């Protein structure tokens, strides 16, 4: 069964739970602040303490990283319920992490190239230190 770590003040958590109930997706809700030891472990593994955090088939899914909308989460759950993920051994996990780092590096390089391209298209603004400030005329007495 899917576990959802939530926070009582998280509006997105509430929206997500509503959609899951409407779609008859079963889940167990765990309030993060009431289960600190478990929540600390989820945060350590995920690298970020964000609610809602979803545990499904030994994977941790986070919003905006693994799904954007509650409806997209429902689609992922339906897909992986029909096509369960195989549990990875340590070596496979390390390969997965290595590929993630390579993909992140590629993405950052692409972003750097895009920023450079945009900077080349925009005329260089005059630095503030070189801008001329109009002199005020002081009346002579």
Q: Checking DSSP bridges between strand 27-31 and strand 59-61, what pairing results, if any?
A: unpaired
CA neighbor of 17 nearest in space, from 47, 46, 54? 54
Please report whether residue 27 resides in a domain: yes
CATH of the domain at 50: 3.40.30.10
Rounded distance between C-alpha atoms, residue 122 and residue 141, angstroms: 48
pLDDT at 131 over 70: no
Residue 61 placed within a domain: yes
Per-residue model confidence as pLDDT tens digits over 19-54: 999 999 999 999 999 999 999 999 998 888 899 999
3-state secondary structure of 64: coil
pLDDT band (50, 70, 90) for residue 8: very high
Question: How far is residue 137's CA from residue 140's CA, in Å, rounded to a whole number?
Answer: 9
Residue 39 belongs to domain spanning? 2-82
Prior bond to 52 cis, omega within 30? yes
Instruction: Determine, yes or no, domain membership for 30.
Output: yes
Q: What is the mean pLDDT of residues 90-102?
A: 85
CB atoms within 10 A of CB 119: 9
- Give how many domains the chain has, as a whole number: 1
46, part of any domain: yes
**Does residue 56 sit within a domain?**
yes
In a domain, 34, yes or no: yes
Instruction: Taking each helix axis as running N to C, give the angle between helix 70-82 and helix 11-22, from 0 to 180 degrees, rounded to the nearest 10.
Output: 50
Considering the entire predicted model, what is its pTM? 0.67
The percent helix, strand, coil of the chain (3-state, each to 5) is 50, 15, 35
């Amino acid at each position: 069964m899917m576990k959802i770590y939530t926070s009582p003040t998280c509006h997105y958590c509430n929206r997500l739970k509503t959609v899951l109930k409407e779609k008859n997706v079963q889940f167990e809700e765990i309030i993060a602040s009431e289960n600190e030891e478990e929540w600390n472990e989820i945060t350590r593994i995920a690298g970020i303490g964000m609610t809602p955090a979803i545990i499904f088939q030994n994977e941790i899914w986070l919003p905006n990283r693994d799904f954007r909308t509650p409806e997209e989460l429902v689609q992922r759950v339906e897909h992986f319920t029909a096509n369960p993920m195989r549990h990875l051994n340590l070596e496979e996990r390390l390969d997965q992490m290595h590929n993630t780092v390579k993909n992140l590096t590629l993405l950052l390089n692409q972003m750097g190239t895009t920023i450079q391209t945009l900077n080349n298209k925009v005329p260089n603004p005059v630095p503030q230190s070189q801008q001329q400030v109009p002199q005020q005329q002081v009346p002579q007495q």
